[in-house]
Amino acid sequence: MRAATAYTFPMARVAILVASDRGAAGQRLDLSGEAIAVRCSAEGHDVVRREIVADDRATIAGTLANWADAHLADLIITTGGTGLTPRDVTPEATRDIAERDVPAIPLALAIAGLGKTPYAALTRGIAVTRGATLIVNLPGSPKAVEEGLDVLVPLIPHIAELLAGPHEHEPTEGRRQTEIQKPRSKAE
């Protein structure tokens, strides 16, 4: 039997970091960050911080580290800076402050995205943990953000529960985890 989670409505604390030179200069509306905020709030999560910074590796890394180290959020979602141009440095900044990789999240995002457009193969976003915070890079396109949230949003409650710890995985009832079940014959 699973222990009850300490989370109640809102289910998780989410922070949003937008990496955009033009957004930070006030020359572009923040449609992607807005899409994340609206979707997470609609799902019952608490959007605790939202900020736009220039595509600067040190600034992005510093912001992510400060937020994670302050236990500001269970999940930080970045948007922007995951493409192939020289100014797209969000994955590198995220890697700079990472403690552990979570490789299946970007894989799931890519697989879902490739079902909609071949351009999904060009994103370089990563997912990592730092302390009790998961950081996930999404592309800067509002449409790609919406598609990424379709993958990510169902995972958020469990992400928050796992990172809040402690969490022990109990063995399957009636057997030890190391026990190997032999296939049953047709006669059984």
Distance of alpha carbon 76 from alpha carbon 118, whole angstroms? 26
What pLDDT was estimated at residue 128?
Answer: 98
Give residue-wise pLDDT tens across range 30-44: 999 999 999 999 999
Distance of alpha carbon 136 from alpha carbon 40, whole angstroms? 14
Q: Does domain 13-164 have CATH number 3.40.980.10?
A: yes
The pTM is what?
0.84
Q: List helix spans (H) across the chain.
A: 21-24, 31-42, 57-69, 90-97, 104-114, 142-152, 156-164
Give 140's DSSP letter.
Answer: S
Note every long-range contact of 152-156, with CB atoms under 8 Å and residues 24 or more positions apart, other chains counting: 152/77, 152/105, 152/109, 153/39, 153/40, 153/43, 155/105, 156/11, 156/12, 156/14, 156/40, 156/43, 156/45, 156/74, 156/75
Query: Is 64 in contact with 94 (CB distance < 8 Å)?
Result: yes
Give residue-wise pLDDT tens across range 97-153: 999 999 999 999 999 999 999 999 999 999 999 999 999 999 999 999 999 999 999
Q: Count the alpha carbons within 13 Å of 111 in the hemisphere toward its beta carbon.
A: 8
What pLDDT was estimated at residue 179?
Answer: 45
In 3-state terms, what secondary structure has residue 69?
helix
Q: Which residues pair with 46 in a beta bridge?
A: 13
Listed residue (69, 95, 65) closest to 82, CA to CA? 95
When pLDDT is cut at 50, 70 and 90, the band that residue 180 belongs to is very low
Distance of alpha carbon 129 from alpha carbon 151, whole angstroms? 18
Helix axes 31-42, 142-152, angle to 10 degrees: 30
Q: CB neighbours (10 Å) of residue 176?
A: 7
